[in-house]
């Protein structure tokens, strides 16, 4: 029998009960309970024991680490597997071994079933819980795994559930509803996350709020098909979890083979959604591969030139970019063989001599001579049938042969998927990309992925799992071969922003929408998991190409400052006033990014649905920047006061409205803190009483910079 185990770190505790047989159940996951000894854990178990009710099973009323039928679990089993078509119901013999102050490795075997299950459970930096499993076939006949999922319990007081959906240019749209009864599943079946991906599922005690209340959240670090699950059952503890969605026949284990699940990340907080985000951000920033250098101001050329590549024009654009303060110049789609539109060329990663007769070397050299990094766009996992590689190797297309070409229109932008699990296709792609990175001195790759995987067949079996792992290997190989190379994950915008791909890449393109009104919410919910330095947020032209909405430049600038900033704009088209304003913006970004990309992100709770308020507070609370923006007209003539959460009530702060984003325009009178010289205000007033907001117009933003005095 294993002893009970207590894991504690950064305000979070997880307690595993002793188990005479089977996997240990989880007694508690949530608020830190202090340094409990064996007697304290025994008291916890006794204090939380259930009363057995008539008509209920005696087993598994707590949530085991892998709840299943053989535990008497009435919800969705966390493991479903068969051997030679026969169901497996493991009776585990488990050992728990500490592997760190807040980590354990659990090894469970069932000799009769011929299975070994290895579980890693860790509380990482910031209190983020990491959980994954590995299942090994120790028997003779093949084992087919239908699913293997990560599950943790949440309190019965978690009576609301929030899930995410969305669409292109409107990613990460949350929907909150009462916690559903029974076992429920939310799936994504696009072969990538998708714009409507579950992203995060969180349970809350009452309606979720930004700064208060208990929240339990799960995110799966996997860049393809996923399932998020909840189980609220009458005789069991409530469970929250996630796992990879695999197709029938996709995971088949011969003797000695193993299947390792993607890591599930669980975040608990008793101070609302900002507490959940802070755990993710702290853990992300603690990783050795997390970007350590200042995030450069970027110009990406897509909305500047689209497919209309002209060397002289792009050189002029590079010079203008350097003049206003850009630090990274990225050449987007259109530079390679046959690529005059989106119907040809994918898969042939060679420079088109018809457009670039001297190659890309002159542009790359100019960019570097101007003090900027040179970046290049690729869509490595895709292929057009009108390409040399597809003509030479039609068997490298990852698809049902009956759908290539597809009379039903199942291609997207006339592109298909290149089978990276095919070693020859993998090496072809790696070699072409690596050659260009080396020859051109590429510092940054914008890595795009513009379509779903449909009927993804590899060697006669479902191939999404193998394709995803191959894409990971390719990214890993390129970064190993070219130290310092940075990669952005773009997938028609924000359709692949999970922590699986972010373990390898350096930022994401949050959305193809540069409409700053839409971006207010897209970026807010992206940073529920990702720290702002990893979220690409660019100033685009007005009107926005994705919505047709016209917005003032100050508003676009304020929205861009909430992430890793840049431009998606033909700066040559800017007039003198706009050029002066974006030059000031570049200087402001460089001044503030040390704070914006290291501080704690806060979202003060507001009443007016038109308000979007976001702040970043330094770790020592000596400085903060808050953005106040509107997405519509305010409901009341006298707006609410703005509570500046996160500041030190014992200090005084100088309140300064930064005019670099553009001149303010007020609907009525101007509050004193917005007029004249910066105002010094006690922190207790700012956090307890707040600043009276002005009568902001629709689609208006104010940038407030606070410094302790």
Q: For the ranges 53-62, 228-237, 285-294, 376-385, which has the lowest average pLDDT? A: 53-62
Directed axis angle between helix 516-526 and helix 553-560, to 10°?
Answer: 10
The CA–CA distances, whole Å, from 442 to 40, 328, 330, 351 equal 57, 11, 10, 14
CA–CA distance, 170 with 164 (Å, rounded to integer): 11
Q: Which residues contact 548 (CB under 8 A, 6 or more apart)?
A: none
pLDDT at 644 over 70: yes
| CB-CB contact of 598 with 282 (8 Å) | no
pLDDT for the residue 408 = 62
Paired sense of beta strands 507-509 and 486-489, if any? parallel
Using alpha carbons, select from 693, 530, 637 the residue that is nearest to residue 172.
530
Sign of the four-CA dihedral 194, 487, 598, 608: negative
- Give yes or no for a cis peptide into 630 (omega within 30° of 0): no
Q: What is the pLDDT of residues 294-348, one digit of tens each?
A: 999 999 999 999 999 999 999 999 999 999 999 999 999 999 999 999 999 999 9
pLDDT at 624 over 60: yes
Which of the four pLDDT bands, split at 50, 70 and 90, describes residue 182? very high
The CA–CA distances, whole Å, from 605 to 174, 273, 413 equal 16, 10, 42
pLDDT for the residue 58 = 60
Taking the CA atoms of residue 578, residue 511, residue 466 and residue 387 in that order, the dihedral angle to the nearest 10 degrees is -50
Q: What is the pLDDT of residues 591-620, one digit of tens each?
A: 999 999 999 999 999 999 999 999 999 999
Measured from the Cβ of residue 80, the count of other Cβ atoms closer than 10 Å reads 16
512 a catalytic residue? yes
Which of the four pLDDT bands, split at 50, 70 and 90, describes residue 79? very high
pLDDT for the residue 407 = 62
The CA–CA distances, whole Å, from 467 to 4, 48, 224, 464, 554 equal 40, 45, 9, 5, 43
Q: What is the pLDDT of residues 648-671, one digit of tens each?
A: 999 999 999 998 876 555 545 567
The backbone region for 289, taken as left when phi is positive above 0, alpha when psi lies in -120 to 50, beta otherwise, is alpha
| Average pLDDT of the segment spanning 59-66 | 78
Using alpha carbons, select from 284, 164, 270 the residue that is nearest to residue 218.
164
CA–CA distance, 61 with 75 (Å, rounded to integer): 11
Paired sense of beta strands 238-244 and 226-232, if any? antiparallel
448 a catalytic residue? yes
Using alpha carbons, select from 627, 605, 603 the residue that is nearest to residue 524.
603
| Average pLDDT of the segment spanning 196-220 | 97
Using alpha carbons, select from 231, 234, 183 the residue that is nearest to residue 53.
234
| Average pLDDT of the segment spanning 244-251 | 97
Please indicate, yes or no, whether the overall pTM of this predicted structure exceeds 0.75. Answer: yes
Using alpha carbons, select from 90, 51, 56, 86 the residue that is nearest to residue 74.
56
State how far Cα 455 lies from the chain centre.
Answer: 26
Active-site hit among 512, 515, 521, 645: 512
Using alpha carbons, select from 491, 506, 394 the residue that is nearest to residue 445.
506
Strand ranges for 367-426 from DSSP E: 373-378, 382-384, 415-417
Measured from the Cβ of residue 372, the count of other Cβ atoms closer than 10 Å reads 23
| Average pLDDT of the segment spanning 192-210 | 97
State how far Cα 281 lies from the chain centre.
Answer: 11
Sign of the four-CA dihedral 305, 306, 309, 314: positive
- Give yes or no for a cis peptide into 296 (omega within 30° of 0): no
In the chain, what percentage of residues exceed pLDDT 70? 97
pLDDT for the residue 70 = 85
pLDDT at 471 over 60: yes
Q: Which residues contact 476 (CB under 8 A, 6 or more apart)?
A: 504
pLDDT for the residue 60 = 56
Q: For the ranges 61-70, 112-121, 509-518, 548-557, which has the lowest average pLDDT? A: 61-70
DSSP string for residues in 13-44: EEEEPP-SSSSPEEEEEEE---S--HHHHHHH
Q: For the ranges 98-102, 167-171, 604-608, 660-664, which has the lowest average pLDDT? A: 660-664
Q: For the ranges 264-268, 482-486, 638-642, 669-673, which has the lowest average pLDDT? A: 669-673
Active-site hit among 71, 132, 448, 645: 448
pLDDT at 21 over 90: no
Q: What is the pLDDT of residues 418-454, one digit of tens each?
A: 999 999 999 999 999 999 999 999 999 999 999 999 9
Side-by-side strand order, sheet with 143-148:
86-87, 79-83, 143-148, 252-253
SS3 at position 146: strand
| CB-CB contact of 183 with 233 (8 Å) | yes
Using alpha carbons, select from 274, 268, 266 the residue that is nearest to residue 129.
266
The CA–CA distances, whole Å, from 424 to 391, 393, 429, 537, 553 equal 15, 10, 9, 37, 48
SS3 at position 509: strand
pLDDT at 55 over 70: no
Q: Compute the mean pLDDT over every residue in the chain, rounded to the nearest whole number.
A: 94
pLDDT for the residue 528 = 98
Backbone torsions φ then ψ of 46, nearest 5 degrees: -65, -40
pLDDT for the residue 20 = 80
pLDDT for the residue 659 = 84
State how far Cα 522 lies from the chain centre.
Answer: 11
Q: What is the pLDDT of residues 489-517, one digit of tens each?
A: 999 999 999 999 999 999 999 999 999 99
CA–CA distance, 510 with 495 (Å, rounded to integer): 8
Using alpha carbons, select from 98, 80, 97 the residue that is nearest to residue 89.
80
Q: For the ranges 62-76, 147-161, 365-379, 481-495, which has the lowest average pLDDT? A: 62-76
């Amino acid at each position: 029998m294993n002893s009970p185990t207590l894991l504690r770190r950064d305000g979070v505790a997880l307690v595993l009960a002793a188990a005479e047989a089977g996997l240990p159940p989880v007694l508690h996951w949530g608020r830190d309970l202090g340094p409990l000894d064996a007697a304290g854990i025994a008291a916890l178990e006794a204090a939380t024991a259930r009363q057995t009710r008539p008509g209920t099973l005696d087993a598994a009323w707590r949530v085991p680490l892998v709840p299943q039928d053989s535990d008497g679990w009435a919800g969705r089993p966390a493991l479903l597997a068969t051997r030679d078509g026969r169901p497996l119901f493991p009776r585990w013999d488990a050992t728990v071994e500490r592997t760190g102050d807040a980590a354990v490795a659990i090894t469970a075997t069932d000799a009769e079933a011929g299975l070994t299950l290895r579980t890693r459970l860790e509380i990482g930096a910031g209190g983020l819980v990491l959980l994954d499993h590995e299942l090994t076939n120790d028997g003779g006949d093949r084992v087919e795994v239908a699913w293997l999922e990560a599950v943790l319990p949440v309190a019965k007081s978690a009576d609301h559930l929030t899930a995410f959906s969305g669409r292109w240019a409107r990613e990460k749209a949350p929907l909150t509803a009462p916690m559903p009864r029974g076992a429920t599943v939310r799936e994504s079946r696009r072969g990538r996350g998708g714009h409507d991906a579950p992203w995060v599922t969180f349970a809350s005690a009452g309606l979720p709020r930004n700064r208060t209340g208990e929240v339990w959240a799960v995110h799966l670090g996997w860049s393809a098909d996923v399932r998020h699950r909840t189980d609220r059952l009458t005789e069991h503890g409530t469970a929250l979890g996630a796992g990879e969605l695999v197709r029938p026949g996709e995971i088949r284990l011969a003797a000695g083979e193993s299947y390792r699940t993607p890591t599930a990340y669980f975040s608990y907080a008793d101070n609302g959604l900002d507490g959940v985000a802070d755990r993710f951000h702290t853990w992300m920033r603690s990783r050795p591969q997390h970007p350590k250098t200042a995030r450069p101001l970027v110009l990406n050329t897509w909305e500047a030139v689209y497919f209309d590549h002209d060397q002289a024009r792009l050189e002029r654009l590079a010079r203008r970019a350097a003049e206003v303060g850009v630090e990274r110049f990225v050449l987007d789609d259109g530079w390679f063989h046959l690529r005059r539109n989106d119907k040809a060329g994918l898969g042939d990663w060679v420079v088109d001599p018809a457009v670039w007769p001297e190659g890309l070397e002159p542009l790359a050299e100019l960019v570097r001579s101007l003090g900027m990094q040179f970046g290049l766009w690729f869509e490595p996992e895709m292929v057009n049938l009108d390409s040399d590689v597809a003509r030479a190797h039609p068997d490298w297309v990852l698809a049902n042969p009956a759908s290539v070409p597809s009379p039903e229109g199942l291609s997207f932008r006339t592109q298909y998927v290149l089978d990276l699990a095919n070693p020859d296709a993998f090496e072809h792609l790696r070699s072409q990309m690596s050659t260009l990175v080396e020859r051109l001195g590429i510092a940054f790759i914008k890595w795009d992925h513009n379509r779903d995987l449909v009927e993804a067949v590899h060697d006669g079996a479902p191939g999404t799992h193998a394709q995803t792992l191959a894409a990971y290997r390719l990214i890993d190989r390129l970064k190993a071969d070219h130290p310092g190379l940075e990669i952005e994950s773009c997938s028609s915008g924000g359709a692949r922003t999970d922590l699986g791909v972010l373990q390898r890449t350096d930022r994401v393109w949050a959305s193809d929408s540069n409409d700053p009104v839409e971006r207010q919410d897209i970026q807010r919910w992206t940073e529920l998991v990702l720290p702002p330095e990893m979220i690409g947020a660019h100033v685009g032209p007005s009107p926005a190409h994705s919505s047709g909405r016209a917005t003032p430049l100050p508003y676009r600038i304020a929205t861009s400052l909430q992430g890793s900033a840049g431009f998606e704009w033909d700066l040559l088209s800017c007039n003198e006033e706009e050029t002066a304003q974006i030059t000031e913006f570049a200087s402001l970004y460089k001044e503030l990014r040390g704070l914006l990309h290291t501080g704690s992100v806060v979202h003060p709770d507001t009443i007016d649905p038109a308000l979007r308020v976001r702040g970043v507070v330094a770790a020592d609370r000596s400085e903060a920047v808050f953005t106040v923006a509107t997405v519509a007209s305010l409901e009341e003539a006298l707006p609410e006061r703005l509570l500046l959460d996160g500041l030190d009530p014992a200090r005084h702060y100088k309140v300064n409205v930064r005019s670099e984003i553009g001149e303010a325009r007020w609907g009525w009178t101007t509050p004193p803190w917005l007029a004249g010289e910066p105002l010094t205000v006690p922190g207790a007033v700012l956090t307890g009483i707040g600043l009276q907001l002005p009568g902001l117009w629709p689609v208006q933003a104010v940038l407030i910079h606070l410094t302790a005095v």
